[in-house]
Structure formats: C-alpha cells, structure tokens
Structure 1
Amino acid sequence: MSAASPGPSAAPRPPLPRAPGPARSTRPPHDSPEGTLDTAKLFAARLQAARVRPYLATALFALQPVESRQVPTMAVDAYWRCYVSPGFVDRTSVERLAGVWVHEVSHLLRDHHGRSDRYARRHELSGAAERLRMNIAADCEINDDIFGDGLVAPEGAVRPASLGLQDGELMEDYLRQFRLGPHTAHLAWLECGSGADGLRRAWDLGPDGAHGLSAQERDAVRFRVAQGIVGHPGNAPRGWRRWAEGAFHPPQPWRELLGSAVRAAASAPGAGEDYVYGRPARRSAVVPGAVLPSLRRRPTRVVVVIDTSGSVSDAELGSALLEVAAISRALGGRRDLVGVLPCDAAAGRVRPLCGGAEGVELLGGGGTDLRAGFARALETRPRPDVVVLLTDGQTPWPSQRPQCRTVVGLFGRLHGRSSYDESDPEYVPDGPPPWARVVTIG
C-alpha cells in the first residue's frame, strides 16, 4: 500500500506523528445541520483508554481523528485516520468511547486491512458482503480478550462466543468457520471502515488526504507498541503478546516452503508406490501361467530426524517440534504416517507421532553425526518414502544419496552465533548435499 507522504530520510529513527490539529469534516454540502464534534469528550475518552491500556498509548495518540457525518459510529482507514460521528460521540459515554478507541486502533496495529486484502486475493473473494464477513472475523480476533480490567466493551461488540466460535484464534481462522446468514443478520450494521477490511469507503480521504501517516510512521508506531508489550508482557492479554512477538519476528514463508517441500517429495514418482500381489497386473493376461504384481499407491510415510546435539539451542528444538506438527498437517493430519527420530552422534529409536508432537522426547546433547540418523531412518519398517532432517547443519552428510526423497530444514542463525565449533572457531561445516531439498527455518 502506498504511503500517504514521504517519511523523513535524514533522521535515523522515524519520528512519531505530530499531535492532530483541528479535525477536518467530510460532511457533504447538502448534509443536514448537526451539532459539532465534542472533541473534549472524544479526547477524554482517548486519555481514559491510554490510562487503562498504557501499552497502546503510542498508537492511540498517533490515531488522527476526522469529523464525519457519513460514518455511523467510528471507523478507521489504512492511513491511521479515525472518522468520528458527532452524534455517536454525543450519545455514548466516555467509558464506552474509550473501548471504541482501543477497538479501532487494534484493527490498524494488527494490519487487518492488509490481511483482508491478501485473504480476498488468495480465495478470490469480492463484494461488500465478504468484506463484512472479514470485519466480523477481525472483530472476533480483537474482542475476545481486550475488554475488562477497566475497559468497557462498546455496545454490541462482537465476540467469538456469539457465533459459536472459540476465543484465541486469528481472523483467518474465524473466516474459515462461519458464513453470513440469519445468525449474523444482527451484525449488518457493523462498520469499522477500510482499516478493518480493506474496502475503501466514500468518506475515506485516501493516500493523499490530510492527517494521514506515512508508511514509515505507521511502522514506527507498531514497533514502539510491540516493544512496550514485549518489555512488560504481564500487562497485556495473550492476543496482544502473540501480536507483539510476530511484530518483532515477522512470519517468514519457510513454514509454507517446508510443507510444500514435504508434499512435493511425497507426491513424486516412486514415493508411496510399491508392487503388490493383492491385485494382479493387467499385463498378466499376456503371460499365461504367471501372476504379475501391480504397482499400487499407498500412504506416504515420513521420518523426521531432529538434531539434538549440543550445538542446537532449546529454542530451535522447540521450533523443530512445531515443524513436526506442520509436517503432519502437510500429510493431511495423518500422524500415524509420521515417525520422529532424535539424533546427535547416535540415533535413538523412531517413535510414531500418534500422541502428538508435544509428547516427543528429544534426548541428546552430544556431538553431531546425522549419518547415523539417516541409517536408522532407512532401517525403519515400513520403509519411509521421505526423510526430513531438522538441523543446524553442523554435521557430516551421507556420501551417497539415500533411496528416498530428502528434505533438510536448516535452523537460521539469527542471534549472532558465528562460531560453529567452540574448540575450532575456524571450522565451517559442509553444506547439505545437492540431492536434498533445503529450506531455511526462521
């Protein structure tokens, strides 16, 4: 999305936006007369919101209020403008207005407009009805845990339970679980603006209008809010802590790449195929007196070898367990087709994943030689079609290509660890062999 105005280029740190000046009205000339916006009440509500949610104060005071009589209540756009109805402010208490402030700024911090656009493109969705569904799903993501503890929920706030859904999920998860129908008819009034669902409204001032924030300023606000939440995690709900962690460590496509690599290896010619006599081959008719086996497809089996040597951190081992669960999902959720094998310099025993990744014991801590893990994986019966290695790469590799597809997930070194071997700082291990599909994790 293009920036509203170019951010400063000389300053090493982008400045936060200036305090908003007089609100600009978007009332059309033919609109009926109405009372002016009670800015004192509106700003008192914002101050109340900052007092009860201090970790959101930077974002709350960065939001630019714009008076508009076209907006039913309060709505935001992607450029951090908040369009405010004077009538709504008049009839709403300061306590409930504070809740609306927090709700609207949450849409912007969590990038609901960008995520809605990406979801719509990915699923080829269009129209106001689908955008309303995205607004509802975004509200469910926000409203499940932000109210209470001094913050009053706005009247009619949508919660997951009202749609028969569970708390604690993301907008994209909720979108897969409900459709518009009679049970959502009471939510047709919902209007949080283009900042919630990505669909531009008639009252939006657009990228070139006044009071908008540049892309650099928006990023600065998000970063400072995330920094405050991570620094004092006990003061924020679980949903905000999850968002802040993602803001510091943005999601990378490696999980999708790893899943696609496993699926590609599992569907490659020869994988999951074997000759069986349960059903004779069609060629048997031309060979009288002989029963020829037929080539049959069977479920693809995967063995995941996890590097548990001393050079692998606890965080990387935790990430490895997440990848095991992702690999299971890539195979359609068939945990019985996935085996897990911890390995340092010696290989353990291949254990089935039937009990879930959280029950896997990762024993090790010594040196590294994943060749032992390769050999043990190939000894498994039934023989695996795909071997996945999750490792930091500090290992010798097999000299010959195994008789199965191989995927290597390499832990990325993001914390300045430049030494591979404490006893020999100049040692650099060989990279994965060319016959392996390599995906960098993290």
Structure 2
Amino acid sequence: MSSEDARVAARFAAARLWAASRAPYLAHALFSLTPVVLEPRRDGETGEPVPDPEWRAFPTDPGWRVHIDPGTALAVPVEEFGWWLLHGVGHLVRRHGDRAPAAAGPGDPVARRWNRAADAEVNDDLEAAGLDVPAGVVSPRALGLPPGRLAEEYLSEIEVLDGAQARGGRSAGDLVDCGSAADGLERSSGESGGDGLSGVERAVLEAALARDVLARAAARSDVPGGWQRWARERTRPAVDWRARLGAVLRRGAHPGAGRVDFTYRRPARRRGPQGPHGRVLLPAMAAPSPEVAVVVDTSGSVDDGVLRVLVSEAAGVLERVGGPGRRLRVICCDRRAHPVQTVRRAEEIRLVGGGGTDLREGIAAAAGLRPDLVLVLTDGDTPWPDRPPRMPVVVGLVAGPTVPDPPAWARVVPLPARP
C-alpha cells in the first residue's frame, strides 16, 4: 500500500469511527460499508490529489460500497467525511434506489429531483441527531418543509420549488450525486470495484440494524424518530405468525389450547395450604410453546427478492413464536436438505444452496426432528411429498403465476413478493 493509499484508508477509518460515535445505533451499518478508492484527479504541478466535485458526497451503491475520491477524502474535515457516511447509510437502508421513479439517467431532471427528495428524508434524521448538514445540501429545515416525511412526499414539494426557481426563485439545494443507492441508476464508470453485499446479505444486515435501533430506543438512548419508525416497519413481518401458528396448534398440534400445563418457574398467585415446614408452593399454569422447524427454499429458482421475503418471515417466526431465549431449528434446502441450524436470531441463519429444488428432502429432514409444526418458506416451484408428515405443515408461499398449488394437506399462507 502506498503512503497516499494509507492516508486515505486512515481518513476513512477516522470518519467511520466519528460517525459511529455520533450515531451508535448505525454502527453495524457503518462497519458493513466496503470502501472503493477511485483514481484521483491530480494537480498538474505537484501531482497531489485534488478534490473532484463530482464525488463530493462519497456516493454509495446497492452493494454497500462507498466510493472515495482521494482528493476529497484528504481535503474535507473528518467530521464532514463521517457525516456523508451516515448520509449514504440512510440511502442504503431506506432503499431509495428501489423506490426511485423511472428516469433516463443520472442527469435526468426526474433523477435529480428524486435524489434531493431522498436527501431530505435522510438529512431530516441527521439534523434530529444534532448533526449539521453541509452547506448547500437539501434538508427539510433549510427548505422550510415539515419534518418526518418520506422522500415521495418531499418530491412533490421540491417539484414546486424547482418551478419557483425557474421563475427566479431560490434554488432547492445543490445537485449532489449520492450514487445509485439514491436513484437506482447504474453508472457507466466509477461505481465499481469488488463484490458488494448480495440481496440476502443486505436483508440480514437490515434486520440486525433494525433490532439495534429498537434496542437502543428501548434503552432510552437518543435515536431520531425517523430511524425508530423505519426499524418498527422493518421488523414487522408480513404475517402474524403467532396468530397463524396458534390457529394451527389449536387444530391438533397440541391436545389442548391455552394454559394447560403446570410450571414452577413462576409460582401461582394463590396461596397453598400450610404444611409442617411452611406453606406449600403451588405451580402456575402455562401455555405450551410450540416447537417449530423451518425449511427455507434456497434453490436457484428463488431470486434475491423472494429470498429477502423468506428471511424476513423467518425473522418474524423467531421473534413472535420462539420467544425470549428460545431457539429455532432451520433447514436450508435446494435439491437436498442441508445440515440443521439452531439459531436465535435471523442473521445467524446461513443460507446455503442454490441448485435444483426438491423440498421433499427438507420436509423429511424437518419431520425427523419431531417438531410440533413444520414451516416451509418457498416460491412453490418444487415437488411435494405424496404423503403428509405426522405433524402439521404450514407453507409460507411467494407464488408465481405458473406455480402449482401445494398439496391439500398443507395450510398455505400467502407471502408478499417483496419484504
């Protein structure tokens, strides 16, 4: 590594550390960024790198790569560099690239307005965290717009301001290119360098980040309201698995429903009879907690978007069914059943596979664990067992138009095509 590269790397490390200290609830995301150092512009006489205005914002792409112009990185204060890292994480986590309206290219007026609207959504929370927005960059406060809105809402306001500017009014902020993470448009050059995060890895990272945000908010740390709203939405599964699984269990997975078992973990409130050595401790009644085995379809027919849905729903199972301290047994399956994984959190699931599809293997492996219920998460493009296993089977189905229905003995829960 050259001395120049070492200086840029040290600057990036310092900026990331500063950002993590100002927004610790985003530390997981900040340390998941992959730096890509660009070829610098150089001074014609000294040969030293000089800032390139095109890369002022340290743009990011959907693979969680941050593109670093050496001249800009070495010229701006560490605090400003760190601010832009937090800004880029905001675009990534909120998936502004996926939400962007169709545009012809990065210079298209539609893309420019959307970039500024997305900036307003992100910078609103940075201001709420007490971090000053760099000069000329869009923020709701600078534009006189109400806080706490989505980019789609700010977009209409910025269109009005752009119309006013065309008639001689003030500008709605500088045109700062935040990269394809903000507008969803591929760049012909510059945005490249190494493998970024896959769709599944991004989904797992977002789930972990949402949990971190909610944990810090619950501990009464200073977490902006916008991040808390995002985290609550991100951790809300599409299906209320507790209600669905409860209905299945009442139909036969357990001989009784409700509080039908005794436990000494929490004594009963009523007082027991007096014995020779003191009062007798009576057990409390407890509801049975189901043992669930999850089969996740990781075959090649399941694209990244569908797999993100399946991971999101697996996280819902963990949270709503497993309960605190409970573990869930997960089997990834393509043409064969992969080894059982026992996990507590969604990000602990290692999604392995990618070949053909035969969920009969996964269901047989799950049935061999003797759970109360087998939950299959799939796009449905698979052969099914001829005979049902001895325990109930629920199929979380992200179905395409040509996929046949699962067998009648499985209870099907439709899942959305996107998380």
- When normalised by structure 2's length, the TM-score is 0.47
Larger Rg computed on CA atoms: 1
